[in-house]
Every structure is written in C-alpha cells, then in structure tokens.
Amino acid sequence: KEVVSCSGRQTYHDDMAKILYTEAVISQRVAELGRQIAQDYQGKAPLVLGVLKGSFMFFSDLVRAIEPCPRGLTLDFIRASSYGSGTESTGEVKLKADLKLEKVEGRHVLLVEDIVDTALTITTVSRYLLEECGAASVATATLLDKHERRKLVYRPEYVGFLCPNEFVVGYGLDFNEEYRTIPYIGVLKPECYSHLGIEAPEPDGSGESSD
Ligand code: 5GP
Ligand code: MG
Ligand code: MG
C-alpha cells in the first residue's frame, strides 16, 4: 500500500499549521500535575485508569511524575469509542475494559484522559465506575480541556491546559489514527483534511473512533 502524506509532504511535522504546546511546555506541566496528584492521593492507594487510546502518552509521562508515589497505586486501562456519523458524535459511548468489579470496588480511581471536549466520554466512564463498579471516588486528570464545547457539565479535577476550540493532534491524539506519536500538540494544515475529500473535522471525528 502506498503511503501518501497530505500534499505529498515527507513527514507529519510538515503537516502542522501551528504548534500549540511544545514538548518542553507539556513536560513541565505534566511534572506539576504529577506532584499535585502525589500529594492528594497519599494514603489512598489510587487506581490510575488510562482512557485509551488517546491518553497513552500523557498516561506514561504522568504516572512517572506522580512522585512521591502513593503506596498501593496500581494501573489499568479502559477503552472508550464514540460512534457517530458525519462530523458529529451521536453521543453514544461504548466502553471496553477487562476491569474486574472487585478490582475497582472501594478504590479511589483517577481517570487519565487526553482531552475533555463535550464531556460525553468522561461522564460515561465515570458513571460506569461509580454506579456499576463501586469505585469509592472518581477524579479526572486531562491534559487538555476544551471547555467551550461542553454538552454536559463536567469539571475535571486536574487540567493540563485549557485548549482553544480547534482540532488538535499529537502527543497521543490522532486524526484518522495518524499523528499520535508526535511529541508535541498542534493543529493540522487545512489541506490535510481536503486531500481526503472531507472538511476539517469536528472534534469527535467521523464514524467510529477509538479515542
Ligand atoms: P468528548 O467529546 O466525549 O469529551 O471527547 C471524546 C474524545 O474525542 C476525546 O477523548 C478525544 O479522544 C476526542 N477528541 C476531542 N477533541 C479532540 C481534538 O481536538 N483532537 C483529537 N485528535 N481528538 C479529540
Ligand atoms: Mg481519535
Ligand atoms: Mg480520549
């Protein structure tokens, strides 16, 4: 299969219209969040739960920054997919996890998300943990908070950056599964969407997306 970048450019970096958060800026903010979380969760043996896929890079940096690490801290992952047609999510969020109920019951859960946008995903996940799995508490650490686009009221406890209302990629965040490995966060050039015959996406992408 031939690999074509938008407009025939060589690398993902060439597809960026602008960089919003550099590697250095992200790394400094993640360190601050980690210290704060370490303080807040001492003595609570937290279960740190990454919401796949978008959070994988933030997750691995954040857990290393939780210093001093509270005793009893453990990790797991949950996968959330939103289904939609066109450029808007229907608001239906599907969860996949191999979390055993007893693993969550009574635990203080810290959800790790890449971005909270409409808040449909994080609301679904946190309700599931509280109502069906018996979590003692659920809090959210999100790298980005696109607060202007909320459909549900949700205020994450730990926010890396308040994000402008633009579709962003990099540092785990994808467009069409691409760009996840870029170590900074940026906005794509408009032609990166038009060469696929689509308009710049609304932040939930089109069709089924594994976030
Ligand atoms: P929600 O609207 O449910 O709060 O966000 C759902 C998911 O959509 C996020 O976890 C994230 O994976 C994806 N998403 C929202 N905004 C953006 C964005 O600007 N860029 C990318 N790549 N994904 C986004
Ligand atoms: Mg996605
Ligand atoms: Mg996500």
Q: What is the pLDDT of residues 147-206, one digit of tens each?
A: 999 999 999 999 999 999 999 999 999 999 999 999 999 999 998 887 666 677 765 544
Mean of all residue pLDDT scores within the chain? 88
Say yes or no: CB of residue 114 within 6 Å of ligand 1: yes
CA of 71 relative to ligand 2 center, distance in Å? 33
The bound ligand whose nearest atom lies closest to the alpha carbon of 116 is: 1
pLDDT score at 183 = 97
pLDDT at 13 over 60: yes
Q: Could you tell me the pLDDT band of residue 210, with boundaries at 50, 70 and 90?
A: low
Measuring from atom 8 of ligand 1, which residue has the nearest CA?
A: 204
Q: Could you tell me the pLDDT band of residue 6, with boundaries at 50, 70 and 90?
A: low
User: Per residue in 133-152, pLDDT tens?
Assistant: 999 999 999 999 999 999 99
CA of 81 relative to ligand 2 center, distance in Å? 9
H helices of 43-188, in order, are 56-65, 101-104, 120-127
CA of 180 relative to ligand 2 center, distance in Å? 9
CATH number for the region 22-82+93-173 comes to: 3.40.50.2020
The bound ligand whose nearest atom lies closest to the alpha carbon of 147 is: 1
Q: Could you tell me the pLDDT band of residue 23, with boundaries at 50, 70 and 90?
A: very high
Measuring from atom 9 of ligand 1, which residue has the nearest CA?
A: 115
pLDDT score at 101 = 67
Taking the domains of the chain in order of start, what are their residue ranges? 22-82+93-173
Q: What angle do CA 96, 97, 103 make, to 5 degrees?
A: 155
pLDDT score at 194 = 77
Residue 114 falls in the annotated catalytic set: no
User: Per residue in 39-76, pLDDT tens?
Assistant: 999 999 999 999 999 999 999 999 999 999 999 999 99
Q: Which two tokens stand for residue 100?
A: 């055993």
Nearest to 211 by CA among 158, 182, 152, 169: 169
For a mutational test of ligand 1's pocket, the pick from 49, 83, 113, 115, i.e. the residue with the most ligand atoms closer than 8 A to its C-beta, is 115
pLDDT at 32 over 90: yes
Across the range 123-134, mean pLDDT stands at 94
- Tell me the residue type at 116: V
* Annotated catalytic residue, options 117, 145, 174, 211: 117
Across the range 116-131, mean pLDDT stands at 94
Rounded CA-CA distance 20/157 in Å is 22
CB of 78 closer than 8 Å to CB of 113 = no
